[in-house]
Structure 1
Amino acid sequence: MTPRRHLHLDPTKRQPLLKDQAIANEDTTSLPVKKVFTKPSGSKGDEDASVYFIGTATTVIEWCGIRILTDPNFLHAGDHVHLGPGVTAQRKTNPAVDLHELPAIDCILLSHYHEDHFDQFVEKSLNKSFDIITTPHAKECLTSGESKEDPFRTVHDLDFFDSMMLHIDRKEPSHAGGYGKAPAIKVTGMPGKHVPPGPLAMANDLLQAVPPTNGWLLELGYTFKAPTGSDAESVDVGFRIYISGDTLFVDELQEIPKRLRDEKIDLMLVHLGGTTIPGPSMPLLMVTMDADQGLKLMELMKPDVTIPIHYDDYSVFLSPLSDFKKKVDDEGWGEKVVYLDRGEQYRFKVRGA
């Protein structure tokens, strides 16, 4: 998982998120935090990073002055999205904050090109020069000049186990890069399958009805650059976040802990809901994890803390959050889970900071 690409993020020189903005929102713009959670096993009060839950799979991850927006969906209750041939879903909830109310954002992490993760309102509103990290398929959809009158211009694609280093540039000499300790976030694409293996997957490969999807591994820490003449660069990881993305519990996920070589996952954001196509009234195909699969993923990844997201915002969800809560409580994993409602935040400490 050696980084093959680099992106420099400078909080003092942010791009505006929206195309009708002249400058980025000020850092003084605050998220409306309803409640703050910390590690269930106890807090020392030294947390310096956070995850804020907006709704569905949309979160803001913040550390060291950098904010990453995941899977932006800002539709409201009653709005509809198109999820494939003949399949639509209605939003049942409102986001904790609207798109234009966000504080300054540095980049977007998009798991796949599906309207419940990147809705048409977002696509039309975003600054086309804004940095987006996503799948090869989504990059093609976002940048294609043939299908887009105004394509996105700075989309970075990561396939499974491809990595990219997000360098956090600062004016302060201690964070200027050079040969020393500098904060960075290593982003690695993780395996995911939105459609179960077998004949349906083969049919979907031909029809392209359900798009390919990634999970993500975010490693927050500090880079150490080698002396002049060497391109070597390592990361002293202080916190790992695994985001499952819209995947089922498939064999490919077994590769993740093997590659980590028993290195700890501090936080897992798991996409649940048991999303069904065409919907709960006719559940022909499940394309995201339900409660049982969510527990299996916890058992496989063994994260220190798990936060379920993507569980009740749309009409296509069959497996309620209450099923997952009962399952983890019954199996003795309840103390490892933090439940965030929209507008709530989980705060954590990055080691070595």
Structure 2
Amino acid sequence: MTTMRHLHLDSTKRQPLLKDQAAPNEDTTALPVKRAFTDPRGSKDNGDASVYFIGTATTLIEWCGIRILTDPNFLHAGDHVHLGPGVTAQRKTNPAVDLHELPAIDCILLSHYHEDHFDQLVEKSLSRTFDIITTPHAKECLTSGESKEDPFQSVHDLDFFESMMLHIDRKDSSHAGGYGKVPAIKVTGMPGKHVPPGPLSMANDLLQAVPPTNGWLLELGYTFEAPTGDDPESVDVGFRIYISGDTLFVDELQGIPKRLRHEKIDLMLVHLGGTTIPGPSLPLIMVTMDADQGVKLMELMNPDVTIPIHYDDYNVFLSPLSDFKKKVDEEGWSERVVYLDRGEQYRFKVRGA
């Protein structure tokens, strides 16, 4: 049995996000929110948490003063990324904000080590002591002293179904969930496959052309303060976010609802686009879900709300968002999908506060 790992996040004692920052950005730095959405079926609760869509798979998740940045990619339209041997992609859009315009961040959640999810500007600019949670493969890439002159020093790897507890340490009690309860976020690595099973997968295992990828489960809630000083390993869950990561609809995903024992997923962020290699003009292999697979994932996970991301930012995407919208409408899921443009936000309520 794997021992639970723990990471303490304190918004009053943040590490600088960037190398050249003397101190983190002040909390007064405001994101430019163009429009905010809530549950399309209606909600009587005021949201105390949010997801802000920056672009591609880059989002900012915020609750209890803690901010988690996913898959940081801040390149602009016309910039290129390298996706494998002889494969490049050009960005078609701009992010909602630039890297240096972000408010103070507490940690990064990186699904895999690909330049459209962790671009060269980000890799060059980030503080080497900043906390990053990612895959074992990405950790090796980021921390290897043999391949990097300036390796990252605070990278935490999670394999499938391994977890880490993010404890939210605050001096004030305004975010406490009641007597003896303190906010926490449990992060668990979820299965994902970038390459379809079969000969291509076996070839990729040898060539390592396309990196391994994780999905994520974030369970926001409260833990009970341990009088002995020991860190608790369970969380009283008030909201679940499932992030698919760059995966295809593969058999391994069937284990997720079984693992959850069919507990509710409140929000799903699904990576779409039908990413093709080397590109739509020569679509030899698809490495992320298209519209049909995205709806199949909704049927499997049955989330209360789904937000599609990662669908039109690069010229290697074959399946446009319009295909997903059409499929969603045909299958009767339209009341459970929220479509965010870059710079828009989804707000939700974490139960138990």
What TM-score comes out, normalization by structure 2 length?
Answer: 0.97
Aligned-pair distance for 1:172? 2.1
Aligned-pair distance for 1:45? 4.8
Please tell me whether the aligned partners of residues 77 and 92 of structure 1 are also in contact (alpha carbons under 8 angstroms). yes
Cα 1:335–1:174 change in 2 (3 A) is closer
Aligned-pair distance for 1:3? 6.4
Q: Alpha-carbon deviations, 1:204-259, whole Å to 9, x = none?
A: 00000000000000000001245539765421100000000000000000000001
Matched residue, 1:98:
98
> Is 1:346 equivalent to 2:334 in the alignment?
no
Matched residue, 1:42:
42
Q: Which amino acid aligns with 2:321?
A: L
Matched residue, 2:297:
297
Cα 1:210–1:221 change in 2 (3 A) is same
Deviation larger for 245-254 or 45-54: 45-54
Cα 1:2–1:231 change in 2 (3 A) is farther
Q: Which amino acid aligns with 1:214?
A: N
Aligned-pair distance for 1:46? 1.1
Q: How is 1:152-163 mapped onto 2 (pairs within 5 angstroms)?
A: 152-163=152-163
Q: How is 1:238-253 mapped onto 2 (pairs within 5 angstroms)?
A: 238-253=238-253
Aligned-pair distance for 1:343? 0.2
Alignment coverage as a number of residue pairs: 352
Cα 1:285–1:329 change in 2 (3 A) is same
Q: Which amino acid aligns with 1:70?
A: T
Structure 2 Cα separation of the partners of residues 71 and 7 of structure 1: 19
Aligned-pair distance for 1:19? 0.3
Please tell me whether the aligned partners of residues 64 and 175 of structure 2 are also in contact (alpha carbons under 8 angstroms). no
**% identity of equivalent residues:** 89
Matched residue, 1:138:
138
Please tell me whether the aligned partners of residues 132 and 156 of structure 2 are also in contact (alpha carbons under 8 angstroms). yes
Aligned-residue RMSD, C-alpha: 1.6
Cα 1:229–1:185 change in 2 (3 A) is closer
> Is 1:8 equivalent to 2:8 in the alignment?
yes
Q: How is 1:258-297 mapped onto 2 (pairs within 5 angstroms)?
A: 258-297=258-297
Structure 2 Cα separation of the partners of residues 229 and 168 of structure 1: 15
Gapped regions of structure 2 (runs ≥ 5): none
Structure 2 Cα separation of the partners of residues 93 and 229 of structure 1: 48
Q: Which amino acid aligns with 2:136?
A: P
Structure 2 Cα separation of the partners of residues 340 and 109 of structure 1: 20
Cα 1:231–1:131 change in 2 (3 A) is closer
Deviation larger for 39-48 or 128-137: 39-48
Structure 1 Cα separation of the partners of residues 311 and 11 of structure 2: 32
Gapped regions of structure 1 (runs ≥ 5): none
Matched residue, 1:51:
51
Structure 2 Cα separation of the partners of residues 232 and 54 of structure 1: 33
Q: Alpha-carbon deviations, 1:37-96, whole Å to 9, x = none?
A: 000011325110000000000000000000000000000000000000000000000000
Structure 2 Cα separation of the partners of residues 211 and 4 of structure 1: 25
Q: Which amino acid aligns with 2:20?
A: D
Cα 1:52–1:3 change in 2 (3 A) is farther
Q: Alpha-carbon deviations, 1:165-214, whole Å to 9, x = none?
A: 0000011257799x920100000000000000000000000000000000
